[in-house]
Amino acid sequence: MSRRILVVDDEPKLCDLLVSALTSADLHVLTAANGLLALQTLEHESIDLVITDWRMPGLDGPGLLGEIKTRFPLLPVIVMTAYSTVRNAVQSMRNGAYDYIAKPFDIDELDITVHKALQFGDILRDNARMRAQLHEHQQIDSLVGESPAFSRVLQAIESVRDSSATILLTGESGTGKEMVARAIHNHGSRANQPFVAVNCAAIPEGLLESEMFGHRKGAFTGALADRVGRFVQADKGTLFLDEVGDMPLPLQAKILRALQERVIEAVGDTRERKVDVRVIAATNKGLLEAVANKEFREDLYYRLNVFPIPLPALRERVEDIAPLARHFARTLGASTGKRINGFSAEALQAMAEYSWPGNIRELQNCVERAIIVAQGATIEAVDLPGYLFHSTPAIDREPGVEAGVPSDLDGSLAQMEKQFMLAALQQSGGVQAAAAQLLGISERSFWYRLKKLGIQVDRIAR
């Protein structure tokens, strides 16, 4: 992988010297004539090392070093200083420079210092990535959000977590129902017991009863051995009935009995078994409507609806969009090894104005994609999917249509393809062969796509 070094010096000759001394197959050298220009470059380019002069007009070496330490803390900096002023070098090391080189310098020494600094940067970044992963792991239940709408959810979780009362989580797709269910379990008195999730919509109707209650060997064709059902697996712990609105009516009657009497019967077994489970059910369907349509038993509805927690849609908690986006940028950025330090004001505004029919999951996907597309350390508005900027989102919001599914697949794919092509072209400075290589496709295929998508290369600013 090619590494990128930014040389900052107001003297063009010295910049040229460093460019020719350092440029190699795996080193690419960019230059900036002063500290401010350097910061601009750092915002838009991915840079692995900065070599800066100490004395410069405008933002000087110490100033630049300070800015880098706060804004790009993982980026190593080498300071250049004249022999006569080695004091400066000592000062710069104190301020967080990785090393210094005294002018005039020996090219071989320079080479060694640069490679060591690059290695140091790698270590810092690996370290940060591992720490972020650990953090994510420890805080897997950390529910991000402080908006009034979400604070009500947090209060509800708090008041119910230690009881065994049945909970009904309702909310659109992607609002965090499963995450909340796990948080209730993990922070409640049953935390050391199993959490068993069953997606009622994903199990074939014929198998649901045996899945839930288990079966005895020989109970039906194919029942080759005894099987323990989910209720028993969840004994003493929590049973999460996801998509409970999709449960077929015959099974609803059996679940109702299990919830009322806390006993279950395996298929093909005449003995009853007592179980102690806390049930958390979730649905993105209007259950009352299903009750009215006779698709859902009224008695089961009341059994489940003991403690309802409605989860707000993301558009009802706009205040949480930026913190959630930053949370995903941090965790996802760290796991891909990319340095993302935030979002531009325009990007945040676009995200705040969008309606997010797919809620938090859609936001998470959007950030994940933006991290891939982003050129620099800041996610800009152009890195976000185009449909965020259209008044009618490309994502269908008709009832009954799964959110997160585009209404025009070909159109959406072409739009994504175009964005990736543009990103590659920008990264390659408009060089088509290099852009094709970045995308792992042949030049011929790249050229074909350019024509197909109507991309004009000469318009791409560098």
Ligand X SMILES: Nc1ncnc2c1ncn2[C@@H]1O[C@H](COP(=O)(O)OP(=O)(O)OP(=O)(O)O)[C@@H](O)[C@H]1O
32 vs 393: CA distance, rounded Å: 41
- Contact pattern from residue 261 through residue 290 relative to ligand X, giving x for each residue in contact according to CB under 6 A and a dash for the rest: -----------------------x------
- Asked if 177 is part of the footprint of ligand X (rule: CB under 6 A), the reply reads yes
How far apart are CB 174 and ligand X at their closest, in Å? 5
Residue 145 as a binder of ligand X (CB under 6 A): the answer is: yes
Query: Shortest approach of ligand X to residue 117 CB, angstroms?
Result: 36
> Least CB distance from residue 261 to ligand X, whole Å?
29
Nearest-approach distance from CB 199 to Mg ion, in angstroms: 8
What is each CA distance from 236 to 186, 259, 308, in whole angstroms?
Answer: 13, 14, 22
Q: Looking at beta carbons only, is 240 or 343 nearer to Mg ion?
A: 240
> Does residue 357 belong to the site contacting ligand X (CB under 6 A)?
no
* Position 147 contacts ligand X (CB under 6 A): no
- Does the protein bind Mg ion through residue 178 (CB under 5 A)? yes
- The site that binds ligand X (CB under 6 A) totals a number of residues, namely 17
111: contact with Mg ion by CB under 5 A: no
The neighbour count for residue 160, using CB atoms within 10 Å, is: 19
Phi-psi map region of 371: left, alpha, beta (phi>0 left; psi -120 to 50 alpha): alpha
144 contacts which partner out of Mg ion, ligand X, none, CB within 5 to 8 A by kind?
ligand X
Is-contact 186 236, C-beta < 8 A? no
Q: Among residues 361, 369, 414, 432, which is the contact residue for ligand X, using CB under 6 A? A: 361
Taking contact as CB under 6 A, which single stretch among the options 25-33, 57-65, 91-99, 177-185 is the one that binds ligand X? 177-185
Stretch that binds Mg ion, among 175-183, 258-266, 306-314, 434-442 (CB under 5 A): 175-183
Q: Residue 145 binds which entry of Mg ion, ligand X, none, with Cβ cut-offs from 5 to 8 Å by kind? A: ligand X
Say whether residue 404 binds Mg ion (CB under 5 A).
no
199 binds Mg ion (CB under 5 A): no
Q: Is residue 364 part of the contact set for ligand X (CB under 6 A)? A: yes
Q: Minimum distance between the CB of residue 286 and ligand X, rounded to whole angstroms?
A: 14
Q: Looking up tokens 């020719």, which residue turns up?
A: 20
- Which chain residues interact with Mg ion by CB under 5 A? 178
Residues that bind ligand X (CB under 6 A): 143-145, 171, 173-179, 284, 324, 327, 360-361, 364
